[in-house]
């Protein structure tokens, strides 16, 4: 198996991909759920898998404090499961913050890691007890400090997203050449610039991205100390991959890289991560139904009762889910589309599926507990997917 080029010099990663078994919700639970009836697409979640994934993450990186990225799946039942396990939380909006408040979460430990926010959102979060704010520019630093001068702010830096199925660099993250100015402004303002954060890209299959980013963070810590600032936080973000259609490095393999990279960090520096997909994706099946099939010239088209607007947006952006059906026919290319009138609502082209697909057949997306129902909307008046628990 070919390894990513960044790992070619690391013989200990000869067996880099798929080295550990990955969980999946028992399909028998899906069968039982369908016996209760079907009136719209639904996500079926097994909370025990969420618990097991949380514990596995802790075991792989014992020094790393886990803050669940609420945006991955903000269902209150998911948040309660992780809160009971002792997880912290990361939010990106006032609505996510309100959810945590309603569930009695300690807001002083919540991290607001969306690095650019409306001024009123900062004011609201600070009024509710949020202390930790990410930022990635001089402008945002000044804004946060003006609204919440006692906030603990941490700098999001740009870092390579090589090997990530959904790169996140570009929109956020300060460049290394801009760091000195930001540190100077923080020192001038008297802002509590306490640390660094980064994101290696969603569904990252290259563990070396974390090493590169951690090394960059260490250099920034040195610059901070030179200006009289004391770093106390390293936030290694999210991006931890789950088993979809491509091979992945396990969290244990990534943990080896992270643990080695942080081994020389001072004890006073707290290390945290913001896993979202990793904690909830494997715990669920997304279940939908065929509403129509046809041929258009040489193309076979299958239409589902959900699509990019109903929870499967990531399928249109290069994230490859496995797709399962109850049919056993020969596999042939299908174009897979959603039910809306919008022509962009096409999930996949030339997806290999059984040739005997028919109306009312069920379609199953395993390991789809993250960024499915969270993305869903009522566009065209179609109902939101249901969320059921085992």
Residues acting as catalytic residues: 341
Query: Are 103 and 82 within 8 A, CB to CB?
Result: no
CA-nearest of 83, 17, 34 to 285 is 34
In whole angstroms, give the CA distance from residue 46 to residue 182.
44
For the chain, the distance separating the N- and C-terminal CA atoms, rounded to the nearest angstrom, is 37
Instruction: For residue 281, give the nearest of 45, 21, 61 by alpha carbon.
Output: 45
Query: Residue 219's closest CA among 207, 240, 201, 234?
Result: 234
Query: Which burial class, exposed, middle or buried, applies to 185 when counting CB atoms under 10 A from its CB (0-12, 13-18, 19+)?
Result: middle
For residue 111, which of 70, 72, 171, 61 has the smallest C-alpha distance?
A: 70
């Amino acid at each position: 198996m070919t390894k990513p080029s960044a790992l070619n010099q690391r013989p200990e990663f000869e067996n880099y991909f798929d080295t550990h078994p990955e969980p999946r919700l028992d399909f028998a639970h899906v069968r039982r759920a369908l016996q209760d009836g079907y009136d719209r697409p639904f996500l079926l979640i097994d909370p025990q898998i969420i618990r097991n994934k949380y514990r596995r993450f802790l075991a792989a990186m014992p020094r790393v404090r886990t803050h669940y990225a609420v945006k991955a799946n903000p269902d209150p039942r998911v948040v309660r499961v992780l809160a009971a396990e002792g997880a912290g939380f990361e939010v990106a909006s006032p609505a996510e913050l309100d959810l945590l408040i309603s569930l009695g979460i300690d807001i002083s430990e919540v991290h607001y890691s969306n690095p650019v926010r409306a001024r009123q959102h900062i004011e609201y979060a600070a009024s509710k007890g949020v202390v930790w704010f990410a930022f990635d520019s001089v402008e945002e630093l000044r804004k946060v400090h003006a609204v919440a001068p006692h906030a603990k702010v941490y700098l999001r830096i740009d870092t390579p997203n090589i090997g990530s199925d959904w790169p996140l660099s570009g929109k956020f993250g300060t460049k290394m050449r801009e760091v000195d100015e930001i540190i100077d402004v923080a020192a001038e303002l008297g802002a509590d610039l306490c640390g660094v954060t980064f994101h290696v890209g969603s569904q990252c299959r290259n563990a070396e991205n974390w090493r590169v980013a951690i090394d960059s963070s260490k250099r920034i810590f040195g610059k901070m100390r030179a200006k009289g600032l004391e770093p106390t936080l390293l936030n290694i973000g999210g991006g931890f991959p789950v088993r979809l259609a491509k091979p992945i490095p396990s969290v244990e393999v990534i943990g080896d890289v992270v643990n080695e990279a942080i081994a020389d960090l001072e004890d006073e520096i707290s290390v945290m991560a913001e896993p979202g997909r990793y904690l909830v994706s494997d715990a669920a099946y997304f279940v939908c139904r065929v509403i129509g099939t046809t041929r258009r010239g040489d193309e076979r088209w299958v239409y589902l009762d959900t699509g990019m607007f109903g929870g499967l947006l990531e399928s249109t952006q290069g994230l490859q889910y496995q797709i399962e059906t109850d049919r056993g026919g020969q596999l042939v290319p299908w174009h897979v589309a959603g039910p809306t009138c919008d022509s962009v609502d096409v999930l996949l082209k030339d997806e290999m599926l059984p040739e005997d697909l028919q109306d009312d057949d069920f379609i199953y997306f395993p390991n789809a507990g993250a960024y499915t129902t969270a993305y869903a909307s009522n566009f065209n008046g179609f109902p939101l997917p249901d969320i059921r628990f085992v």
